[in-house]
Amino acid sequence: MEFIRKKRSRPHIEITPLVDIIFLLLVFFMISSNFIEPMIRMELPKAMFEQKLEKVDLVVTVDRNETIYINKTPVLKKDLQVTLQEKMLRMNKYDVIFKADKRISYNTFVEILDISKIAGATSFSVEHTR
């Protein structure tokens, strides 16, 4: 006597939900990556060697239009010395990090270096990309 056997169907994975999840993740990362952008647009100069610094809370930034910022707050060049002195005294830190667009003039760089030293900065670091 011969028995009738049911044909077993091969197991399969539904791809539709997987594709939906992949597209949702793709959209999420595309949207969230747009918000990871620096506030001040600039191109930092390149350097051959790189040295990581500990976190310093006093950053002087100069953009391509030679607008000066201290910790992302715009400052006029004539008020830079007084503002630096106030912030250094308030934070009790005398280290300054300088970030600037590579197109600023060398004269501007030297002026800011001099103003920082007059304001009481004990160390002056220049941030760059590698």
Tens-place pLDDT, residues 60-118: 999 988 899 998 899 999 999 999 999 999 888 888 999 988 888 889 999 999 999 99
Domain architecture of the chain: domains with CATH? 59-126 (3.30.420.270)
pLDDT of residue 69: 93
- Distance from C-alpha of 72 to C-alpha of 38, rounded to nearest angstrom: 10
Would you give the distance in Å from CA 97 to the centre of its chain?
Answer: 14
